[in-house]
Structure 1
Amino acid sequence: MSEPVIQPLLEPREGIPPVIEDPAALRAAVEAFARGTGPVAVDAERASGYRYSGRAYLVQLRRAGAGSALIDPVACPDLSALDEALREAEIVLHAANQDLPCLAELGFRPRRLFDTELAGRLLGYERVGLGTMVELVLGLRLEKGHSAADWSTRPLPEDWLRYAALDVEVLVELRDFLHDELTGTGKLEWALEEFAAILAAPAHPPRTDPWRRTSGIHRVRSLRGLAVVRELWTLRDEIAREADLAPGRVLPDSAIVQAALDQPRTTKSLTEITPFVGRSARRHLNDWLAAVNRGRTMPEPALPQPVGPGDGPPPANRWADRDPAAAKRLAAARAVVAALADEHRMPTENLLQPDTVRRLTWEPPAPITEESVAARLRALGAREWQIGLTVHPLTKALERLEIKGEV
Structure 2
Amino acid sequence: MTTPTGDPGPTDAGEEAVETPLLSTPAGGVPTVVTDAAGLAATCAALAAGRGPVAIDAERAHGFRYSTRAYLIQLKREGAGIHLIDPIPFTGSDRPADLSDLGRAMDDTWILHAASQDLPCLAEVGLLPKRLFDTELAGRLLGYPRVSLGTLTETLLGVRLAKEHSAADWSQRPLPESWLRYAALDVELLAELRDILARELETAGKAEWAAQEFAALAEGAGAPVPPRPDPWRRTSGIHSLRTPRALNVVKHLWTTRDELARKLDKSPSKILADRAIVEVATRDQPGRQQLREIEGFTRRQAKRYEANWVDALARAAGTPRSELPAMHLKSDGPPAPRSWPRRDPAAAERLTRARAHVSTLAEELSVPAENLISPDAVRRLAWRPPNPLDGDSVDAALADLGARQWQRQLLAPTLARLLDDAQPTRG
TM-score by length of structure 2 reads 0.92
CA distance in 1, matches of 2:391, 2:235: 42
Q: Could you tell me which of 108, 128, 137 is aligned with 2:156?
A: 137
| Residue in 2 that maps onto 1:22 | 36
| C-alpha contact (below 8 Å) 1:30/1:85 kept by paired residues | yes
CA distance in 1, matches of 2:18, 2:128: 39
| C-alpha contact (below 8 Å) 2:394/2:412 kept by paired residues | yes
| C-alpha contact (below 8 Å) 1:264/1:270 kept by paired residues | no
Deviation at 1:82, TM superposition (A): 0.7
AA matched with 1:252: A
Q: Pick closer, same or farther for the CA change 1:314–1:154 going to 2, 3 Å.
A: same
Q: Could you tell me which of 319, 326, 335 is aligned with 1:314?
A: 335
Q: Pick closer, same or farther for the CA change 1:392–1:240 going to 2, 3 Å.
A: same
The secondary structure found in structure 1 opposite 2:89 is coil
Once the two structures are superposed, what CA deviation does each residue of 1:158-189 show, in whole Å capped at 9, x if it has no partner? Answer: 10000000110001100010001001111011
Q: Determine if the alignment matches structure 1 residue 163 to structure 2 residue 177.
A: no
| Residue in 2 that maps onto 1:54 | 68
Once the two structures are superposed, what CA deviation does each residue of 1:347-395 show, in whole Å capped at 9, x if it has no partner? Answer: 0111111111111111111222111111111111111000111122212
CA distance in 1, matches of 2:256, 2:127: 33
Q: Determine if the alignment matches structure 1 residue 8 to structure 2 residue 27.
A: no
Q: Could you tell me which of 78, 82, 88 is aligned with 2:102?
A: 82
| Residue in 1 that maps onto 2:48 | 34
* The 10-residue stretch of structure 1 (153-162 or 304-313) with the greater mean CA deviation from structure 2: 304-313
CA distance in 1, matches of 2:388, 2:285: 59
Deviation at 1:266, TM superposition (A): 4.7
Once the two structures are superposed, what CA deviation does each residue of 1:263-295 show, in whole Å capped at 9, x if it has no partner? Answer: 565533311101111111111112211211221
CA distance in 1, matches of 2:142, 2:285: 55
CA distance in 2, matches of 1:73, 1:361: 46
Once the two structures are superposed, what CA deviation does each residue of 1:170-225 show, in whole Å capped at 9, x if it has no partner? Answer: 01100010001001111011001001111223432011111111111112222221
CA distance in 2, matches of 1:392, 1:142: 44
Q: Could you tell me which of 383, 386, 390 is aligned with 1:369?
A: 390
| Residue in 1 that maps onto 2:266 | 245
Q: Pick closer, same or farther for the CA change 1:296–1:169 going to 2, 3 Å.
A: same
The secondary structure found in structure 2 opposite 1:357 is helix
The secondary structure found in structure 2 opposite 1:75 is helix
Q: Determine if the alignment matches structure 1 residue 302 to structure 2 residue 323.
A: yes
Give the length in aligned residue pairs.
405
AA matched with 1:84: R
AA matched with 2:49: R
Deviation at 1:396, TM superposition (A): 2.4
| Residue in 2 that maps onto 1:100 | 119
* The 10-residue stretch of structure 1 (333-342 or 14-23) with the greater mean CA deviation from structure 2: 333-342
* The 10-residue stretch of structure 1 (298-307 or 371-380) with the greater mean CA deviation from structure 2: 298-307
| Residue in 2 that maps onto 1:229 | 250
Once the two structures are superposed, what CA deviation does each residue of 1:23-46 show, in whole Å capped at 9, x if it has no partner? Answer: 100100000000001110000000
AA matched with 1:284: Y
Question: Gaps (5+ residues) in structure 1?
Answer: none
| Residue in 2 that maps onto 1:197 | 216
CA distance in 1, matches of 2:247, 2:330: 18
Q: Could you tell me which of 307, 319, 332 is aligned with 1:286?
A: 307
| Residue in 2 that maps onto 1:117 | 136
AA matched with 1:83: G
The secondary structure found in structure 2 opposite 1:59 is strand
Deviation at 1:5, TM superposition (A): 4.6
Q: Pick closer, same or farther for the CA change 1:190–1:406 going to 2, 3 Å.
A: farther
Deviation at 1:339, TM superposition (A): 1.4
Q: Determine if the alignment matches structure 1 residue 177 to structure 2 residue 191.
A: no
| C-alpha contact (below 8 Å) 2:25/2:185 kept by paired residues | yes
| C-alpha contact (below 8 Å) 1:225/1:295 kept by paired residues | no
Once the two structures are superposed, what CA deviation does each residue of 1:50-78 show, in whole Å capped at 9, x if it has no partner? Answer: 00100110000000000000100111322
AA matched with 1:119: A
| C-alpha contact (below 8 Å) 1:216/1:254 kept by paired residues | yes
CA distance in 2, matches of 1:377, 1:325: 20
* The 10-residue stretch of structure 1 (265-274 or 157-166) with the greater mean CA deviation from structure 2: 265-274
| C-alpha contact (below 8 Å) 2:285/2:317 kept by paired residues | no
The secondary structure found in structure 2 opposite 1:108 is coil
| C-alpha contact (below 8 Å) 2:143/2:368 kept by paired residues | yes
AA matched with 2:109: E
The secondary structure found in structure 2 opposite 1:98 is helix
* The 10-residue stretch of structure 1 (135-144 or 287-296) with the greater mean CA deviation from structure 2: 287-296
| C-alpha contact (below 8 Å) 2:66/2:261 kept by paired residues | yes
Deviation at 1:340, TM superposition (A): 1.2
The secondary structure found in structure 2 opposite 1:155 is coil
The secondary structure found in structure 2 opposite 1:218 is helix
Deviation at 1:397, TM superposition (A): 1.8
CA distance in 2, matches of 1:301, 1:397: 46
Deviation at 1:4, TM superposition (A): 5.5
TM-score by length of structure 1 reads 0.96
| C-alpha contact (below 8 Å) 2:57/2:186 kept by paired residues | yes
